[in-house]
Chain A
Amino acid sequence: MFSGILEVFKFRVLIQTLVLRELKSRYRGSVLGFLWSFLNPLFLMGVYTLVFSVYLKNPMEGYPAFLFCGLLPWLWFSTSIIHGAASIRGGGHLIKKVVFPAEILPVVAVLSNMINFLLSLPILLIFLLSYKITITMNVLFFPFLLIIQFILTSGLAFFLSAMNVHLKDVEQIINNLLMLLFFLTPILYPVTFIPEKYRGFFLILNPLFPLMTSYQDILFNGRLPDIKGLGYLLIISVLIFLIGYNVFNRFRDTFAEEV
């Protein structure tokens, strides 16, 4: 198990190269190029602000800044899941034709989207500052959240990519589930919108719940995140990672034949 994880580390140059390839090729050839990693979330933010702040008259102060705190990590999560799930199937030319450590592909999907996320942080900062939100020491929790999200997302990507090799429906199912998850997680609305009696229930059911509220707490609300919730999240994430990697390993031999 852990030797497997060490193996991933051994291939860091390969991972680095493939992540770079992913990032370079994503916007190569488009006129605005790299600016798209800012423009895409800005556009989404514009739409949601219009609907929730203007049409639905949500009175929240600095709603666009709040929205960004959850939306950017969500985009990292959802694109990683979509790319990750398709990664083994899409990497057929590598898995079938050269000796290639398959576990790298989902990791590359998660990592390249993480870097995209990190690169979009400057606009988050600009929005926070323009809404006069003070940055507190609680920001120091950020790397910790990053690591947890990486573990959680990779675990899911391992599991889904292996499943997707045998059952192509997985890609479709994911799209629908992500939509559901997006609206069930406090991203568009603050956690206070959820009736108190349901909160605990959703928190247990949906690991993204404590994750997103923690991002909002440390960045927007300037307060300590819910430590108990985070502890729970960490345990769940590690568990999902272990299960995901195990399932992946179990199906590994079939990849070269099936994709």
Chain B
Amino acid sequence: MVAIDIDRVSKSFRKYTNREIATIKDLFVMGIFRKDTFETETFWALRDVSFNIENGKMIGIIGSNGSGKSTLLKLLAGIMGPTSGSIRVKGRVSALIELGAGFHPELSGRENIFINGIILGLSKKEIKDRFDGIVKFAGLEDFIDSPVKTYSSGMYMRLGFAIAINVDPDILLIDEILAVGDEEFQHKCLNKINDFKRKGKTLVFVSHDLGSIERLCDEVVWIEDGVLKARGLPRMVIDSYTGYVASFEEERAFENHQSALEGAKRESPNRWGTREIEITNVRLTDGDKKEKYLFEYGEPIEIILSYKTKRKIEDPVFGIGIFRDDGVCVFGTNTAIDGFSISAVEGEGNVIFSIDRSNLVEGSYLLDVAIHKRDGQPYDYQSRLYSFVMRSKIKDVGIYRPDHDWLITSKEG
């Protein structure tokens, strides 16, 4: 049986522009009773989205920020109506979109449980019956008669969650709120969610935490730019989503580099030296000579420095330094340290520094490139102007990932 049927749903918002109704006169000229007086440019948060959710299933909704996930959830909850299309929902819906909506800071936790419960659609009797359970779930037995304004933000959220989840709906909508509270409380929440699943209730879960989505959900829906991109088994949809995010990141890393090159041309405190020989271009490529600034763990990296001299330069030293984005030096070397001696360069040319295996853990890295005299006097020093991103499926920590193995033995006898 279908619990939620979403049929060609679109939702537009008014884009916030500088108010074009400048004076009250304008307002009356345009007609105060006409709705379109207040409408301007529209922005489509959702476009022609259709899918349905079967009874007793847990569905995860993923997508980048601003993709329309939360809008969809609000439409499902009935907080807003769709601009076009229809949504049919069978059963009582409870939406965990904001916890503690309607809490009044001056009133006690006890009073607020009643108010919030009524707002969420419970009757007084239902609240009375569930009161002790709510307080216990929130772990607020000792504070229930203190004003809510004295609560920590964690206590506040816990109370809100405890009330909302005790509404006992047929369909529960959850918006990114499992990050509430400490480990113990999160376990309680997960238990409650599993309880819901066992009872055959329908859940819709919006989150950026792909791990939880994969663990909890039966199916995943991916929404991007307001359009339904994919729907299916969690592993499958999550993989195509992460692939998409990666290509997006790659593009951004590329753009970052272009603007860094532009920046280097202007005077910058990050660049100094006599410029008798100059670094005119910096490019990063992988093993196949493809220019890129986002590397997978283990991929080869080549750093290509282009130089140009004003006169013949004797005995130049080329150097590079790799830094983590917090400033820790990962590695630094130059041609002199590595025992190369370059007698002289003139005109234009390239210097290529290549790494066969980039054993760096996931993160952003900054680059120093330099040409200087053997005694260290800089011709052209460009510090932390360029950057690249490492990505890895392995979530280890630190900076450098040595090739390694584990061997576990136990002593016989």
Query: Is the pairing of A and B real?
Result: yes
- Kindly state whether residue B273 has any CB partner on chain A within 8 Å: no
Whether A99 pairs with B79 at a CB distance below 8 angstroms is yes
Given known A94-B101, A167-B21, A257-B14, contact A17–B118 (CB-CB < 8 A): yes
> Which of B50-58, B106-114, B345-353 is the interface stretch?
B106-114
User: For residue B114, which residues in chain A have a CB less than 8 angstroms away from its CB?
Assistant: 17
Whether A98 pairs with B98 at a CB distance below 8 angstroms is yes
- Kindly state whether residue A146 has any CB partner on chain B within 8 Å: no
Q: Roughly how many angstroms separate A166 CA and B101 CA in the complex, as a whole number?
A: 23
Whether A21 pairs with B27 at a CB distance below 8 angstroms is no
Contact of B77 among A17, A24, A99, A166 (CB under 8 A): A99
User: For residue B13, which residues in chain A have a CB less than 8 angstroms away from its CB?
Assistant: 257
Chain A residues numbered 1-59 whose CB sits less than 8 Å from any CB in chain B: 13-14, 17-18, 21, 24-25, 28-29
User: For residue B80, which residues in chain A have a CB less than 8 angstroms away from its CB?
Assistant: 253, 256-257
Whether B120 pairs with A98 at a CB distance below 8 angstroms is yes
User: For residue B111, which residues in chain A have a CB less than 8 angstroms away from its CB?
Assistant: 21, 24
- Kindly state whether residue A247 has any CB partner on chain B within 8 Å: yes
Q: Roughly how many angstroms separate A28 CA and B108 CA in the complex, as a whole number?
A: 10
Contact of A169 among B24, B32, B33, B102 (CB under 8 A): B24
Distance (whole angstroms) from the CB of A4 to the closest CB of chain B: 16
Q: Roughly how many angstroms separate A14 CA and B93 CA in the complex, as a whole number?
A: 18
- Kindly state whether residue B104 has any CB partner on chain A within 8 Å: yes
Whether A97 pairs with B101 at a CB distance below 8 angstroms is yes
Q: Roughly how many angstroms separate A256 CA and B195 CA in the complex, as a whole number?
A: 32
Interface centre among A14, A253, A256, A257 (most CB of B within 10 A): A257
**CB-based nearest B residue for A247:** B33
Tally of chain A residues near chain B (CB < 8 A) = 30
Distance (whole angstroms) from the CB of A247 to the closest CB of chain B: 7
Distance (whole angstroms) from the CB of B118 to the closest CB of chain A: 5
Distance (whole angstroms) from the CB of B121 to the closest CB of chain A: 8
Whether A21 pairs with B115 at a CB distance below 8 angstroms is yes
Contact of A13 among B32, B33, B101, B124 (CB under 8 A): B124
Whether A167 pairs with B124 at a CB distance below 8 angstroms is no
Question: 1/0 per position for B43-85, CB-CB distance to A under 8 A?
Answer: 0000000000000000000000000000000100111110000
Given known A14-B118, A98-B119, contact A25–B104 (CB-CB < 8 A): yes
Whether A253 pairs with B123 at a CB distance below 8 angstroms is no
Distance (whole angstroms) from the CB of B161 to the closest CB of chain A: 14
- Kindly state whether residue A100 has any CB partner on chain B within 8 Å: yes
Whether B106 pairs with A99 at a CB distance below 8 angstroms is no
- Kindly state whether residue B35 has any CB partner on chain A within 8 Å: yes
- Kindly state whether residue B95 has any CB partner on chain A within 8 Å: yes
Q: Roughly how many angstroms separate A29 CA and B79 CA in the complex, as a whole number?
A: 33
User: For residue A256, which residues in chain B have a CB less than 8 angstroms away from its CB?
Assistant: 74, 79-80
Given known A99-B77, A257-B80, contact A13–B106 (CB-CB < 8 A): no
Distance (whole angstroms) from the CB of B274 to the closest CB of chain A: 59
**CB-based nearest B residue for A26:** B106
Chain B residues numbered 169-224 whose CB sits less than 8 Å from any CB in chain A: none
Task: List 7 interface pairs A-B (beta carbons < 8 Å), by A numbering.
Answer: A17-B119, A28-B107, A29-B106, A98-B97, A99-B77, A254-B38, A257-B14
Q: Add 6 more A-B contacts to A28-B107, A253-B80 (CB < 8 A).
A: A17-B119, A98-B95, A99-B77, A99-B95, A173-B24, A256-B79
